[in-house]
Amino acid sequence: MGPMQTKTPGGCTYVVTLIDDYSHHVTVYFMKAKSDLLSKFKIYKAAVENATDKKIKRPRSDIVGKYTGRLFKGYINRSGMKHEKTVQITPQQNGLAECMNRGLMEMARCILYHDSIEMKWWAEAIVYRTKLQLKNLKVFAALGYVHIPDEKRRKLDANAFKCRFMGYEDDVKRYCVQNVETGKVQIVRTVKFVETTSPGQLVTHQEEEDILGTSTAPTFNG
């Protein structure tokens, strides 16, 4: 899919979705250019085959675009796979992928508008579209308060700054948040989230006190 009208902070404007036809498991990659498709497919193929101990045998795509380019076709042939191609303007031949792509974009669009989030965060909205209810997983764009360590503030400074949840840091038990006031994206650990409220909604002073507590050194969950 793409190009999107707005680049992500990482400079991506394209999306490729790879779906297992049996399990319907979806993997999403974001790309700066269409030419990145082959490298993303190689990453996907290696990860899936390592996880399942099974080979990808019959990839299916539309008949146009980078899927039918010389480099992609050469890789498919060398790997011994059979490339199934759908006819142009017949999305029903690859209905699962078409429905998934449409659903992802519609959900992301709704999240961005509902929570008053800048369009450049469309990739995060696609990835974290579902409001998961597990212990360490958070609702995308949820309002939060990040604890500021004693050594990084003076005695009368605020002990937390307001943020919104943007995702997770790979391989580290940390959250990726955006400072609501500065717009800066940071990786943090000690943060309290209010998952019933987004930055697009008002939070009263009393609600902030209830969240942070009246003590000068509130307890945060890591």
Asked if 144 and 162 touch (Cβ cutoff 8 Å), the reply is yes
Rounded Cα–Cα distance for residues 14 and 8 (Å): 10
| pTM value > 0.85 | no
Residue 120 pLDDT: 92
Q: Would you kindly state where each structural domain of the chain is located, as residue ranges?
A: 14-117, 143-212
Helix (H/G/I), strand (E/B), else coil: 172: coil
What value does the mean pLDDT of the chain take? 81
Asked if 154 and 216 touch (Cβ cutoff 8 Å), the reply is no
Residue 28 pLDDT: 92
Cα→Cα distances 202→69, 86, 112, 113, 195, Å: 50, 49, 17, 16, 13
- The class that CATH gives domain 143-212 is mainly beta
- The neighbouring-strand residues paired with 176 are 167, 187
Residue 79 pLDDT: 92
| Per-residue pLDDT reduced to its tens digit, 156-210 | 888 899 999 999 887 777 899 999 999 999 999 889 888 765 555 545 455 555 5
Residue 104 pLDDT: 85
Pick from 85, 81, 40, 89: nearest CA to 61: 85
pLDDT over 70 (residue 107): yes
Cα→Cα distances 124→89, 111, 196, 208, Å: 29, 10, 19, 26
Q: What is the architecture, at CATH level 2, of domain 14-117?
A: 2-Layer Sandwich (3.30)
pLDDT band for 220, please (50, 70, 90 cuts): very low
Residue range 210-216: mean pLDDT, rounded: 49
